[in-house]
Amino acid sequence: MTRSLRLRLGQFSDRGVKPANEDFHGALIPEGEALTLKGAAFAIADGMSSSESARHAAEYAVKNFLNDYFATPDSWTVRHSAERVLSALNRWLCGQGARMLDPARGMVTTFSALVLKSTTAHLFHIGDTRIWRLRDATLEPLTQDHHHWASQERVYLNRALGIDPHLDIDYRSLAVEVGDGFLFTTDGVHEYVPPLEIKRLIGANGDNLDAACRALTAAARAAGSPDNLTCQLLRIDELPLPDAESVFRQLTELPMPPELEPGMILDGYRILREIHASPASQLYLALDPDAGRQVVLKTPSVNFEDDPAYLERFRHEEWVGRRVDSPHVLKVIEPAQRRRFLYHVLEYLDGQTLRQWMAEHPRPPLAEARDILTQIARGIRAFHRLDMLHRDLKPENIHIDRHGTVRIMDFGSVKIGGVAEIASPVEQTDLLGTRNYTAPEVLRGEPATTRSDLFAFGVIAYELLTGRLPYGERLGREISAKGMARLRYVSARSARPDLPVWVDGALEKAVRLDPQRRYTVETELVYDLLHPNPDFAERRNPSLLERNPVGFWRGVALLSLLANLVLLYLLHRG
């Protein structure tokens, strides 16, 4: 198994005929887990010559991009991480330029970067530096120059870092292959060396990538380039392409724990009692004698010891729980000792699930329900800020402790944006949640999004207030477009006439079948449950069809039957 990315890198930069070099380039290739989770990053920049701080701008952009990208959460996708970093860099450069007497001579630079993660290259581009791909005998430009030629002598940048607080970044991703080469050049090189000559010079220098970069800059200078000259060239020697057998072997490095009984000791934890058992896992209350506290041990079911998808989700559950830091998300604890078996250590919560709470409070006051939903929303937000989707939000996976603190738990279905980008032979699916809480688009096979989690949140809010589901039990059964089209929202006021019409309007928007018509963030729903939204304030009272669609259609059928009987009677008499 090739456990990590292997590549070679060559680079060279020269001021050329100019008195100073205003180009800058860099690369950061980490090792170990960072290389797997974040990849390797490469960048090139060309400071705008009219700026007195051109070199500073280019150097600042490259160095800070490389450093700050790797400081973003491991759970973030490459695109999310890079775009957040570039937006912050752009704001800083614009701010520095605004302090100068002549803003046009501010800190402005072109910028192109490539992040190579797993088997995918992610490109980010602003300006007229270039990234090329060399595959077999083909040299292909992957970026488009953002400049305008006013004349044969003068060119103006349309886009660059530091020009405008609003940053428009070109992004693309593409699969890579072993043997692929990626070339970075500033305009002082590619404007004076034609593609055929670039390809010839790279080929002529074989595996000496530094020599190839020097040859390209020399060719540009010989061709009369009046600019700085910078090249960076990388070549992929191996890709992290694990096979199914090796991945399964990695997932099963820790064996399944034995069946646990009260009084047993597992890696220092004393088992007190079994809390819960399901076909997928077991929960045990245990004592951590070193910390002097009670904890919960979650163990996997032996029914899935040969299921790599289950084992990977179980491993990811711990990964998620250690990274999401919120008082409204269950905490996963670092084991006190080195583990000999596969299990998680969770904080112990004294209380009940939301499902149990709802059974005891079938018609909660609106203010009490709002408090619970506000806390759930904060927990969901903690996941989404880390590019994570819970994908199994339901009352059974929400806990209320005896102090009234609400926490989201059970991370086995969580999709981690940054981890999902890593190639794996383990087949994954977005259809993991409970059907009545799963968004319609996911039921149809579309990828889950934050709006899918918000649909589940909306169903929970509706059920918390009414004790019912917004589409009855039909949603989980209707997958086809035609079946979905027949679904109708049942007004929450049919079960709770005391609910304000604007609360019903907020609930309806939260669970709309079309994801584009739902709320975009969870706090919007909470706000509309606390404050009357004018869009919903004038809603009419629900019709019989909205309040009770089954009863409505039964009534229509009964009236139709009666009409037919009357017609038959009249025909018989006539």
Active site members: 392
Residue ranges of E strands in 85-212: 109-117, 120-126, 130-135, 138-141, 147-149, 155-157, 170-175, 181-185
Q: Are 342 and 255 in contact (CB under 8 A)?
A: yes
Find out whether 299 and 284 touch, Cβ atoms under 8 Å: yes
Can you read off the two tokens belonging to residue 453? 């989690």
Handedness of CA 54, 59, 65, 68 (dihedral sign): negative
What torsion do the CA atoms of 380, 383, 387, 388 make, to the nearest 10 degrees?
-100
108 vs 114: CA distance, rounded Å? 20
- By DSSP bridging, strand 147-149 and strand 40-47 are unpaired
CA 147, chain centre distance (Å): 33
Rounded distance between C-alpha atoms, residue 476 and residue 437, angstroms: 8
CA–centroid distance for 343 within its chain: 26
**CA angle at 87 for the pair 188 and 107, rounded to the nearest 5°:** 45
Distance CA(493)–CA(499), nearest Å, equals 6
Strands 170-175 and 23-28: unpaired
Nearest to 34 by CA among 56, 5, 1: 5
Nearest by Cα to 87 from 8, 168, 158: 168
Whether 188 contacts 230, CB under 8 Å: yes
Rounded-to-integer distance, Cα 71 and Cα 69, Å? 5
Nearest C-alpha neighbor of 234 from the set 196, 306, 269, 185: 185
Q: Which helix (H) or strand (E) holds 44?
A: strand 40-47
Q: What is the 3-state secondary structure of 509-556? A: HHCCCCHHHCCCCHHHHHHHHHCCCHHHHCCCCCCHHHHCHHHHHHHH
Which amino acid is present at 214?
R
Given phi > 0 = left and psi -120 to 50 = alpha, else beta, which region is 345? beta
Are the C-beta atoms of residues 488 and 546 closer than 8 Å to each other? yes
- Taking alpha carbons only, the member of 503, 432, 508 closest to residue 471 is 508
- The Cα 345–Cα 332 span in angstroms is 6
Which amino acid, one-letter code, is at 432?
Answer: L
Query: Which tokens in the block code for residue 322?
Result: 């250690």
